Structure formats: C-alpha cells, structure tokens
C-alpha cells in the first residue's frame, strides 16, 4: 500500500490568485454487497479524504500504484462518479451540488488525461474524429473544427496528416499526445 503524501512542492502558479480547482476532504466509497439480499457488508474506500488545489497556470499530475484510486479521483472531481462526501469548487463555484446541465458545461473546461491512452481512445474512430468530438458537442462549425484539429495536432508534436490514422497505428507516447490534444479541444 502506498503511504499518503505529507508534502507537495510549493505552487508555481499565479501568486495570490484564487485556485482554479479546490478539493476538500473528497471521499468516494463503494459498497460491498453480499448474500441473496445483497446487504452491504462493508465499503471499499477508493478515495478517502483527498485535499488539493490547482492554481491558475498549474497542471496537476496524479501518480500512484495500479488500483490506488487515481482514475476514481478524476472521475469524482468531474462528477462522472458521485462522491460520497467532500467539497469540490471550480473557479469559486461549488460543483458538488451543480445540476447535470451545469456539469456538462463545466466538463467542457475541465479535462482529465488518463494514464492508459489506448483505453481512452475509441479504436474505431480516426484521430480527427476523436479530437473533433468535444468541439462538435460545443457547436463549432466544420471548418473551425478542421482548422483547430490541425492546430492541436501540431501543438502536441504530431503532423496534421496523422489525423486520418487510427489509435492502433501510434506508439504509446503518441497516443498520450492524442489524448492531450482531445483534452485541449
């Protein structure tokens, strides 16, 4: 089991600025059910008492052993999984009580890039389509989407012509970059 981190390096974000994201005592527990009547006999504490903040111009990387709760933390912050307890504020707004429609708007601004890029990319979609998806949801025009995809691919170190390829045609590092381009979209 991994020991909790007692110290995190000082922030390199904007001094004195309000955090973009603040997480206080976030917990996500899953019930363990047993027997014919599926009674709860215990709890798996996937995320338990997490505190963090991200200042403007900062990026946070969560690193840990397999199964330690990294993905659950990200999904709980985005409320793709409902947390058991705790508080999450984004740009000063409490998002734990936000409506589904408001969360959809907020998720367009908040992105998680998962550790395993292949699992987060649809193997049946070319890279252009994978990156275009969030922009289509946002209602951008086809021309703007096409232009933006080229910009994003260049920004992550890939050529625009790579957009016609499928995820399996890339190395792990390149797939990670595709995930980052999609997050930036």
In terms of domains, do 99 and 172 share one?
Answer: no
CB 103 within 8 A of CB 93: no
Q: Which of 82, 104, 112, 117 lies closest to 21, judged by CA?
A: 112
In terms of domains, do 76 and 136 share one?
Answer: no
What mean pLDDT is predicted for residues 91-104? 92
- Report if residue 34 sits inside a domain: yes
**128-163 pLDDT, tens digit each:** 999 999 888 888 999 999 999 999 999 999 999 999
Instruction: Assign residue 25 the CATH number of its domain.
Output: 3.40.50.300
Asked if the model's pLDDT at residue 16 lies above 90, the reply is no
In terms of domains, do 67 and 131 share one?
Answer: no
99/120 Cα distance (integer angstroms): 25
What is the tally of structural domains in the chain? 2
Looking at every residue in the chain, the average pLDDT score rounds to 87
In terms of domains, do 27 and 63 share one?
Answer: yes
In terms of domains, do 99 and 131 share one?
Answer: no
CB 46 within 8 A of CB 57: no
- Report if residue 9 sits inside a domain: no
Q: What is the bridge-based pairing of β-strands 93-94 and 85-90?
A: antiparallel
170/121 Cα distance (integer angstroms): 11
Q: Which of 42, 44, 16, 15 lies closest to 28, judged by CA?
A: 44
Asked if the model's pLDDT at residue 91 lies above 80, the reply is yes
Q: Which of 130, 109, 110, 124 lies closest to 177, judged by CA?
A: 130
Give residue 60's pLDDT.
Answer: 84
- Report if residue 114 sits inside a domain: no
Asked if the model's pLDDT at residue 11 lies above 70, the reply is no
Asked if the model's pLDDT at residue 62 lies above 90, the reply is no
Per the structure, the complete domain to which residue 94 belongs is given by: 21-107
- Report if residue 142 sits inside a domain: yes
Least confident among 12-26, 88-102, 109-123: 109-123
In terms of domains, do 134 and 66 share one?
Answer: no
CB-count exposure of residue 114 (10 Å: 0-12, 13-18, 19+): middle
pLDDT tier, 77 (very low <50, low <70, confident <90, very high otherwise): very high
Give residue 65's pLDDT.
Answer: 83
């Amino acid at each position: 089991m991994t020991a909790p981190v007692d110290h995190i390096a000082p922030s390199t974000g904007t001094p004195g600025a309000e955090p973009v994201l603040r997480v206080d005592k976030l917990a996500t527990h899953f019930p363990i059910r047993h027997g014919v009547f599926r009674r709860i006999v215990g709890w798996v504490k996937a995320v338990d008492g997490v505190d963090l903040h991200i200042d403007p111009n900062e990026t946070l990387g969560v690193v840990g052993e397999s199964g330690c709760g990294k993905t659950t933390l990200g999904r709980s912050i985005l409320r793709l999984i409902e947390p058991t307890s705790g508080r999450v504020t984004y740009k000063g707004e409490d998002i734990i009580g936000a409506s589904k429609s408001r969360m959809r708007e907020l998720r367009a601004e908040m992105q998680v890039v998962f550790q395993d890029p292949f699992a987060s990319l649809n193997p049946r979609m070319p890279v252009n389509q994978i990156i275009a998806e969030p922009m289509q949801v946002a209602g951008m025009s086809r021309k703007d989407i096409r232009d933006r995809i080229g910009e994003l691919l260049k920004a992550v170190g890939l050529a625009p012509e790579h957009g016609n390829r499928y995820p399996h045609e890339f190395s792990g590092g390149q797939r990670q970059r595709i995930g980052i381009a999609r997050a930036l979209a």
